[in-house]
Amino acid sequence: MTAPALKAGYACSEGCGFTASLWDVVYRCPRCEGLLEVAHDEAALRAIPAAEWKRRFESRFATSRLPDGSGVWGKREWALPELPVEDIVSLGEGRVPLKPLPRMAAELGLGSLMLKECGVSPTGSFKDWGMTVLVSAVKHLRSRGTPIRAVACASTGDTSAALSAYAAAAGIPAVVFLPKNKVSLAQLVQPIANGARVLSLDTDFDGCMKLVQAVTADTGLYLANSMNSLRIEGQKMIAIELCQDLGWEPPDWIVIPGGNLGNASALGRGLDLLFNLGLITRRPRIAVAQAQRANPLARAFRGGFQDLVPMQAGATLASAIQIGNPVSFRRAVRMLRAFDGVVEEATESELANAAARADREGTFACPQTGVALAAVEKLAASGVMAKGASVAVVATAHGLKFADFKVGYHRETLSDVKAAHANPPVELPADLSAVREALKDLG
Ligand SMILES: *Cc1c(COP(=O)(O)O)cnc(C)c1O
Ligand SMILES: [Zn+2]
């Protein structure tokens, strides 16, 4: 007996019944304007027992050779099962550490606190997990003769870095729309280095998003924002790999920073698949963390999840989640309802201090991860997270992309931040007794 072939296609995520082939260029449901999702043939997936999936994934995980050694393509049957292997564009994304923070966990009364270090990645953020899937699909589309001249995205910095790198690897031109002066220097230089056409626009992310949607509607430019559900199929592997790290035993809580809310939605999709296929038997709870200055989901949560009220996002150190009109709002609300979820928010001081606190335990947390860590502090203090709970935080970028944030924190020059852990360098003459004096109090 041979197992049934694995198939996937687009379906409307609002349930109106629209379906399309994955090799059609379509981003939204033409009937109801809803976002699409990649629908897998779950019956065919279920025909393979959970133990066999685990064995297959573990054996690929053991190699560093690509594409099996990719955290995404090592599980390719769950991403794009019909994509020919020769069209995979992998830079070695995923397969990242789950780093314990035992001191912070003990101080907060938690059983464990862990960082899933998604920024330990080719371009330094979790965006690589989704972009490898999208760019591989575009490579396949072009090989089938679909007229795509270039890929394009609007970005708060990390999406454009990821798109530019994967497009460069695939030999596909890339165009990125960035809000002028609202991304870090490292984020700006990445697409420049990878040869993308970089448009620096005098607006914010939401303004860039409007323009890229308009320009991709009627030319051969392919839209690479997270509205595009191909990216979600890669990003959902974060949840899957996290459970794999823990011996297929989910933590009590998973905490994730949210901007456009694609990643939060992807987390739910990964966990749903694990649960439906029997690889995990318990559903964790999920907390989405937002910057207080860009908190449309937190506001909606407090109002019992009435409709989204788009807002003008205020300037926040967590610039990658400075988004006032999140495209995946409805997906995220459905996810939160399914995972008994909560939404928490963090001020500038809270996010900066939480990141600095985690740094003292050997990490180098980006400001968005700081938002998530601040949410953990608040949810543990308020008792929403029970004493002894196990908590995993999706750390979304490498702190080295936000060096100016770190420098400002330790120089105490960030506005609206009272730095509790500032550790400025000690300026000294090159003099032995002065050096001895400065080290006297070390234990
Ligand atoms: C994109 C991004 C986020 C937010 O992800 P969404 O899918 O937009 O919610 C969080 N942190 C970092 C570092 C990011 O680049
Ligand atoms: Zn629809």
Nearest CA-CA partner of 399 in 131, 145, 187: 187
3-state secondary structure of 218: coil
> What distance in angstroms lies between residue 265's CA and the mean position of ligand 1's atoms?
12
Q: What percent of the chain has pLDDT over 70?
A: 99
Smallest CA separation from ligand 1 atom 8, residue: 260
User: How does pLDDT run across 273-331, given as a tens digit for each residue?
Assistant: 999 999 999 999 999 999 999 999 999 999 998 889 999 999 999 999 999 999 999 99
Atom of ligand 1 nearest to the CA of 265: 7
pLDDT of residue 239: 98
Write down all domains in the chain, each with its CATH number in brackets.
98-122+232-411 (3.40.50.1100)
Ligand in nearest proximity to the CA of 35:
2
Residue 100, preceding bond cis, omega within 30 degrees? no
The yes-or-no verdict on residue 80 having pLDDT over 90 is yes
3-state secondary structure of 313: coil
pLDDT of residue 276: 97
Q: Ligand 1: residues within 6 Å at CB? A: 125, 127, 158, 226, 257-264, 320-321, 366, 368, 396-397
Nearest CA-CA partner of 56 in 271, 236, 240: 240
Atom of ligand 1 nearest to the CA of 401: 13
Mean confidence (pLDDT) of the chain: 96
145: pLDDT confidence band, cut at 50, 70 and 90?
very high
Q: Which two tokens stand for residue 55?
A: 């064995």
> What distance in angstroms lies between residue 134's CA and the mean position of ligand 2's atoms?
21
Smallest CA separation from ligand 1 atom 1, residue: 320
Q: Which two tokens stand for residue 154?
A: 């609007």
Ligand in nearest proximity to the CA of 209:
1
| Contacts for 71 with CB less than 8 Å, ≥ 6 apart | 93, 94, 95, 96, 129, 237, 241
